[in-house]
Amino acid sequence: MMDESSAVGVRLLEVRQARGLSLRALAAASGLSVNAINRIERGESSPTVSSLQLLAVALDVPLSEFFKLEPEHATILVRGGERLRSRTEGVLIESLGAGLPGQHLGPFLMTLEAGASGAEDAIQHGGEEFVYCLAGEVEYLVGDEWHRLREGDSLLFLAHQPHLGRNPSGARAQLLIVILAPAGEIHATQQRHLMRAEG
């Protein structure tokens, strides 16, 4: 079984080639460097949440597209130990389901280590977003307002507002994130959540 970085990189390469884009063209469209994209595709670098989002938008696919290894099906079963994931320093994003034809819903599990942020900059996309705090405590920015979420708390918001989650506490936190995007936007939206801009 390939590791997390390799699986995401393989999907990125497949999607880029299916779109007929060169590394340079994707770099220009996403704002990421050719070298950064090349390293992700070869499995040498784990993409940040912001980076995945930028790539998803540039490729016009939902974020979940980077986590699909199988053809589309009418029913998707994801075993706990077999989730496709992306890991960066202090952040683990796991896809809880991808591969439905015309999928509009993107479910993710985000684990934030103490002091970690889900992205370097606030993100925006179409549709709606639901965030449920499973464990720990996080701060979630929506628009210009910060919300403190503790275990059992949730947020539902229109995702065109800039948003960002961070863990200011000294303990690990875990969030269930469900994105509902307009038709044709779920792949790009999911990718925005899975990549963070690389410095």
DSSP class of residue 126 equals: S
How far apart are the C-alpha atoms of 41 and 102, rounded to whole Å? 25
Which residues is 58 bridged to in the sheet?
none
Q: How confident is the model at residue 154 (pLDDT cuts 50, 70, 90)?
A: very high
The angle, 0 to 180 degrees and rounded to 10, between the axes of the packed helices 34-41 and 49-59 is 100
Phi and psi for 110 in degrees, rounded to 5?
-115, 125
Structural domain total, the chain: 1
Tell me, yes or no, whether 29 lies in a domain.
yes
How far apart are the C-alpha atoms of 93 and 108, rounded to whole Å? 7
Residue 96: give the domain boundaries. Answer: 4-194
For residue 39, count CB atoms less than 10 angstroms from its CB and return exposed for 0-12, middle for 13-18, buried for 19 or more.
middle
Q: Locate 156 and state its tokens.
A: 């539902």
How far apart are the C-alpha atoms of 96 and 106, rounded to whole Å? 8
65 or 190: which leads in pLDDT: 65
Average predicted confidence (pLDDT) for the chain: 83
pTM: 0.64
Tell me, yes or no, whether 95 lies in a domain.
yes
Tell me, yes or no, whether 199 lies in a domain.
no
pLDDT in tens, 82-138: 888 888 889 998 989 887 777 788 899 999 999 999 877 888 888 899 999 999 999
Mean pLDDT over 53-65 rounds to 82
Is the Cα dihedral 36, 102, 154, 82 positive or negative?
A: negative
Tell me, yes or no, whether 100 lies in a domain.
yes
Percent share of the chain, pLDDT over 70: 85
Q: Rg of the Cα trace of the chain?
A: 15
CATH of the domain at 118: 2.60.120.10
How far apart are the C-alpha atoms of 175 and 110, rounded to whole Å? 5
